[in-house]
Structure 1
Amino acid sequence: MRNGLPLLLIALLLPGCAPDPAPAGPSAPAAGHGAQLSPRDHDRVREAVARGEYVPLAGLIDDALSRHPGEVLEVELENHEYEIEILGADGVILEFEYDARTGELLEIEVEDD
């Protein structure tokens, strides 16, 4: 995975899955990845979806899972691209890159790190 701004987009953009309020301080850690997120970053993404600037993530996750059934490991937003990482039943991890503005599938990569 490239060194981007990991966002817990699954929890943030799917209805009814909003996280608990962030702890006090300038940033909160992303689950399991050690990256620091500003609570404002989460709000910025939600607002972009609400304004129609970004497509909702749920449909893109469904698309990626239909192409490579398995477990969603991570979702990131980097440079207007959603990156969805899925561990398939075959043990292969694929990263699907979608344009966050249009929903177009841009690339599928096999993760090897």
Structure 2
Amino acid sequence: MPFFHTRLERSLPMTTAVLLALLVSLGTAHASGDDDHERAHRAVQAGEVMPLEQVLPRIAKDHPGQVLKIELEREDGLWTYEVKLLRADGQLVKLLLDARTAEVLRARRHR
């Protein structure tokens, strides 16, 4: 049982930080209106972006872990998902995916 408490104590600051970031991003999204949401919805409808319910199972096969954050961006005409996840061994992994195919373009591991 002490191991569980130790893991919980170590993950609590990260969980708090993720929740704080989520609250800040919700405030930002609300302030900017629904433009980002609508733009993403149109991209999915047009087939330019794969829906998350299809993306997440694909990346979980090669990159298992708890998803902490997902961002959808468009740069130079390419839609990408940036996925941050926490592996069971405590390692943070950042993935950059082609949002249309879910192909991993870049993967970085951080301790």
TM range (shorter): 0.5 to 0.7
Unaligned residue ranges in structure 2 (runs of 5+):
1-18
Q: Show the counterpart of 1:73.
A: 68
Confirm or deny: 8 A CA contact 1:97 1:105 kept in the other structure: yes
Q: 2:20 aligns with which of 7, 29, 32?
A: 32
Per-residue deviation at 1:69?
Answer: 1.8
Confirm or deny: 8 A CA contact 1:93 1:111 kept in the other structure: yes
Unaligned residue ranges in structure 1 (runs of 5+):
1-30
**Secondary structure of the residue that 2:20 maps to in structure 1?**
coil
**Secondary structure of the residue that 1:73 maps to in structure 2?**
strand
Cα distance in structure 2, aligned partners of 1:50 and 1:106: 23
Cα distance in structure 1, aligned partners of 2:50 and 2:91: 27
Q: Show the counterpart of 1:58.
A: 53
Q: Show the counterpart of 1:89.
A: 88
Give the superposed CA RMSD: 1.8
Q: Quick one: higher RCO (CA 8 Å, sep 6+), 1 or 2?
A: 1
Q: Which residue identity does 1:84 align to in structure 2?
A: V
Cα distance in structure 2, aligned partners of 1:104 and 1:68: 12
**Secondary structure of the residue that 2:48 maps to in structure 1?**
coil
Q: Comparing both structures, which one devotes a greater share of its residues to helix?
A: 2
Tell me, yes or no, if structure 1 residue 49 matches structure 2 residue 44: yes
Structure whose alpha-carbon radius of gyration is higher = 2
Using structure 2 for the length normalisation, give the TM-score.
Answer: 0.64
**Secondary structure of the residue that 1:101 maps to in structure 2?**
coil
Q: Show the counterpart of 2:15.
A: none
Cα distance in structure 2, aligned partners of 1:101 and 1:69: 21
Confirm or deny: 8 A CA contact 2:59 2:102 kept in the other structure: no
**Secondary structure of the residue that 1:43 maps to in structure 2?**
helix
Cα distance in structure 2, aligned partners of 1:103 and 1:91: 24
Per-residue deviation at 1:104?
Answer: 2.1
Per-residue deviation at 1:102?
Answer: 3.3
